Structure 1
């Protein structure tokens, strides 16, 4: 980097408008399928999706993290599940939950954390 490049960097205008960070959290019961329901059936591929709306909007698409907060399943089979976040936008996101084979899940609860720039 030469001296003229450094002069340009030092004389560049500084923007003073900075939007605050916006963390948001939540917990949602995805389903309770005991004693009847597709996740408890224990047969083949099963999935569901739940849309979550943010309480406050973001200026740009935020980062979203999911964790399984609670699960109740039959002990006779392996616990198999796939938990994903999809379709994230400034208004919310979709939780995708799936299981397969003979796994029987009666209920699942998810905790989520979103972090981005406030609108």
Structure 2
């Protein structure tokens, strides 16, 4: 559990269109095997340390003729941002995918003293 010690708690959120491979015959729609899409997300302002990040599917347009396989994660979370990563594998065909994210963490305060 992450315990927040600061009265300045920041919440940032966003919506990312990860890909739309149906229109242009992209690999997520036509490919087989392991596939991955990674998008860099930058917070609207930095947190004082890496926040907790929650990600979710906002739109998932997938072919019904195969198994539906998906892995969506926040990777490499820092105080400034993270990578939003979607993976699929096997014969799963994904036409397009949109994701949402929510970050909650401590913000720095002008009243905080930094002692080295």
Which category describes the TM-score, using the shorter chain as reference length? 0.7 to 0.9
Q: TM-score, normalised by structure 1?
A: 0.82
Number of matched pairs: 102
Deviation at 1:95, TM superposition (A): 0.9
Equivalent position of 2:15 in the other structure: 27
What secondary structure does 1:40 align onto? helix
Equivalent position of 1:77 in the other structure: 66
Deviation at 1:19, TM superposition (A): 4.8
CA RMSD of aligned residues (A): 1.1
Equivalent position of 1:86 in the other structure: 75
Distance 2:37 2:100 in 1: 16
Distance 1:98 1:38 in 2: 12
Deviation at 1:68, TM superposition (A): 0.7
Q: TM-score, normalised by structure 2?
A: 0.84
